Amino acid sequence: MISLHGVYEQGTDAVKAAIRAFGARHLLDAAGPNAEPNWKQAERHFTYLIEDIMGGAAPQQPGAAATVRRAENEAIDFLLVLSTVPDSRCPICVKRQRPPL
């Protein structure tokens, strides 16, 4: 599975901007005015996003490489859209903050 850093390295300027915006949604110290992104958390949440998009398909299944690639591309597209929505939040953060049903 591709990493957020790998996407950044290979990405266009728009993709790089979307990844920086995604990182800004995962701050190390949200209270500080100059808070830095928590890239470790952003990386994990990007992986979880890909896994959520894949659904029940496991990357270890034979022939799942195409499914993984599609999910990776959809996750990148999602980050591009998310970066254009003011005050948007990471869907994984939101999902984890919801109380259980």
Q: Where are the chain's structural domains?
A: 4-97
What's this model's pTM, rounded to 2 decimal places? 0.84
Q: How confident is the model at residue 61 (pLDDT cuts 50, 70, 90)?
A: low
Degrees to nearest 5, angle at CA 97 with 94 and 101: 105
Give the model's pLDDT for residue 100: 61
- Report pLDDT for 13: 97
Residue 81 scores a pLDDT above 90: yes
**pLDDT value, residue 58:** 59
Per residue in 19-34, pLDDT (tens digit) is 999 999 998 876 677 7
Q: Of all residues in the chain, what percent carry a pLDDT higher than 90?
A: 62
Average pLDDT value over all residues in the chain: 87
